[in-house]
Amino acid sequence: MRFIALIGGNILALFLSSRYIDGVSITGGWQELVIVGLILSVFNFILKPILKLLLGPFILITFGLLLIVINIAVVWATDFFSGDLAISGLQSLLLTTLAVVVVNFIIHLFFRKK
């Protein structure tokens, strides 16, 4: 259930980003939005833990600030590998990353591991 909620949250964050942030657009309809959300979810579940593991000492040295860079890299990779998502500019990338992080944080609050 948590996995499905996180996928839905990523789709919601991308939808809100494309709707309200200048420089972020998703071409096509809701099918493309779902595909881009699935790509982001796969990167969050596979790429992000690998980056955290490899960069663990640097995350500790920077007191966790490198996690922001990792999140930005995941959103950028989604933009790079998806033909339907277009993020132009660093500000748009940062705001989209912030939207994804906030939505995922809220979902993690509701679906905590026990």
Q: Kindly report the length of the chain.
A: 114
DSSP letter, residue 29: S
Looking at residue 29, its pLDDT comes to: 86
Q: Using one digit for the tens of pLDDT, what is the confidence trace for 57-103?
A: 999 999 999 999 999 999 999 999 988 899 999 999 999 999 999 99
Q: Using one digit for the tens of pLDDT, what is the confidence trace for 36-48?
A: 999 999 999 999 9
Provide the pLDDT confidence category of residue 114 given band limits of 50, 70 and 90: low
Ranges of H-type helices in the chain? 2-20, 30-42, 48-54, 56-61, 66-81, 90-110
**Burial label, 85 (beta-carbon count in 10 A; 0-12, 13-18, 19+):** buried
> Which pTM value belongs to this model?
0.88
Find how far residue 37's CA is from the centre of its chain: 8
